[in-house]
Amino acid sequence: MRERTLDQQCTVTRPGLAHIAASMAVELMVGILHHDQKHRASADPKDSANSSLGLLPHQIRGFLSAYSMMTPKTPSFDCCTACSENVVSEYRRDGFKFVRRVCGDTSYLEEISGLKKLREQTDNLEVDWDLDDEDDEEINDIDSNSD
């Protein structure tokens, strides 16, 4: 448990950390509201000079074992159900009609975002899981020692 991030901790740990997560959420929201680019702000530390409140991370990962936090930077996922180009343009075009359709049809958002197609592609992949001889020997050794 100690090497896991806060969101991966057990349900006993989480309630004690809820106030920390809530305070970070408030700080991030204030940062977004006061940034010139709002939710499109860069998470790059070089760009933090553009904001009077400093760095505006897209994600915060906390480690209780080391009392530390990190702010990873990753490119946006082109099949994101919240911010992908297809979803945003569909929302801008149809507004509340889009929201109503998403709420009424559970597969619509996956189809629009591209997740459905991505899932189909991964389901059709054929993966060769053959182990080489060295791996087979290690597995056999583990099996024989566990008896």
| Interacting residues of 81 by C-beta distance below 8 A, sequence separation 6+ | 87, 109, 110, 113, 115
From residue 74, alpha-carbon distances to 71, 82, 128 in Å are 10, 16, 29
What does the alpha-carbon distance between residue 23 and residue 96 come to, in Å, rounded to a whole number? 31
Which residues are designated catalytic?
10
Long-range contacts of 117-126 (CB under 8 A, 24+ apart): 118/79
CA atoms within 13 A on the CB side of 36: 8
Please answer whether residues 32 and 38 qualify as being in contact, where contact means their C-beta atoms are separated by less than 8 angstroms. Answer: yes
